[in-house]
């Protein structure tokens, strides 16, 4: 694979992706005003899979990995996330807390390889945990302990999906997401029927207006097709060290858009929690590289 210089065009494309991913938390909150959470998630993955699955070739990966990825991301990540944002946690905070998936991803990767945490990773972990601790210390109103726990569970689902993606290696990410979405649809609809009920589902679909379906489409087209497709395109052409740091902007867009669109307040404790969690992610991302560069510098 040849890589190009990460120029202005690539930077703007990466910025557009993280802006979509960040503002998506506000779109989720708006959609939940009309749709129950599990139905909303089921519709999201239905539109992500259909009709594209008939036009995109199945990626050359085992069926098991497609099934597991669909379950981990569809039910584990987004199912829990939608339930949490439905009145249990503010969407801006959800965009921040879900970033602890990096901590879970590191832990799961090390469990698989037998590696131990380095000092830098311990420091990154401590910062992220401190940030979540600040959030837990300020629960009440729009943010509850259950909401934080559900988003942490969503982060775990995301990290398990990352492990599947890591196992399959470099694949067409758009095709992988489209085909794996097929396996998120049945359990999400089943859970929606079980916990939300047929009459509620029928009424929600019957009363859904254009803005509601636009929110569902934004989930599938903007967040999934454009987001994952463009991110995969960038990773295939540019060094991961240039692309990956842009993901640190997701909670910035998430919290900023929630404040602007929903009027979500940004008190000092939220800023401090964001600084600690994003700081922990940055330490984990840049720390090992800086230490390695320092070690080889005469």
Q: What is the pLDDT of residue 2?
A: 45
85 neighbors 94 (Cβ within 8 angstroms): yes
User: Contact at 8 Å (CB) between 56 and 266?
Assistant: no
H or E element that contains 237: helix 227-237
**Residue 51 preceded by cis peptide, ω within 30:** yes
Q: Does the pLDDT of residue 123 top 80, yes or no?
A: yes
* Residue environment code for 205-238, b if the CB has 16+ CB neighbours within 10 A, otherwise e: eeebeeebbebbebbbbbbbbbbbbbbbbbbeeb
pLDDT at 5 over 90: no
Cα–Cα distance between 166 and 68 in angstroms, integer?
Answer: 13
Of 147-156, 174-183, 245-254, the poorest mean pLDDT is in 245-254
**Hey, what are 260's tokens?**
């602007």
Q: Read off the pLDDT of each residue in 145-163 and give the average, rounded to a whole number.
A: 92
- 215 or 284: whose pLDDT is higher? 215
- Tell me what pLDDT residue 84 has: 96
Please give the pLDDT value at position 85: 96
Provide the whole-model pTM.
Answer: 0.86
- pLDDT tens-digit readout, 75-109: 999 999 999 999 999 999 999 888 888 778 777 87
Domain ranges of the chain: 8-296
Q: Show Cβ contacts of residue 280 under 8 Å, excluding neighbours closer than 6 positions.
A: 102, 103, 123, 124, 125, 126, 127, 128, 129, 130, 131
Tokens 């992500």, residue? 48
Residue range 281-292: mean pLDDT, rounded: 74
Looking at residue 62, its pLDDT comes to 95
pLDDT value of position 256: 92
């Amino acid at each position: 694979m040849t890589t190009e210089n990460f120029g202005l065009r690539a930077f703007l494309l990466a910025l557009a992706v993280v802006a979509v991913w960040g503002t998506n938390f506000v779109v989720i909150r708006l959609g939940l005003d009309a749709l129950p959470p599990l139905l909303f998630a089921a519709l999201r993955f239905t539109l992500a899979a259909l009709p594209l699955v008939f036009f995109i070739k199945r990626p050359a990966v085992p069926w098991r990995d497609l099934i597991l990825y669909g379950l981990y991301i569809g039910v584990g990540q987004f199912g829990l996330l939608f339930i949490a944002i439905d009145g249990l946690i503010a969407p801006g905070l959800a965009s921040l807390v879900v970033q602890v998936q990096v901590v879970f991803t590191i832990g799961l990767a090390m469990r698989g390889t037998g590696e131990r945490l380095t000092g830098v990773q311990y420091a990154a972990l401590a910062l992220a945990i401190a940030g979540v601790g600040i959030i837990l210390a300020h629960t009440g109103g729009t943010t509850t302990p259950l909401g934080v726990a559900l988003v942490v569970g969503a982060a775990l689902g995301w990290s398990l999906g990352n492990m599947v993606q890591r196992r399959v290696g470099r694949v067409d990410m758009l095709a992988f997401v489209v085909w794996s979405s097929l396996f998120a649809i049945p359990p999400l609809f089943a859970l929606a029927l079980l916990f939300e009920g047929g009459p509620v589902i029928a009424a929600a679909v019957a009363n859904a207006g254009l803005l509601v379906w636009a929110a569902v489409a934004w989930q599938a087209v903007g967040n999934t097709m454009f987001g994952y497709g463009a991110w995969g395109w960038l990773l295939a052409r540019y060094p991961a060290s240039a692309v990956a740091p842009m993901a640190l902007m997701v909670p910035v867009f998430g919290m900023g858009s929630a404040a602007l669109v929903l009027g979500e307040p940004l008190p000092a404790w939220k800023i401090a929690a964001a600084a600690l969690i994003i700081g922990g992610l940055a330490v984990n991302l840049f720390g090992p590289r800086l230490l390695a560069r320092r070690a080889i510098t005469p």
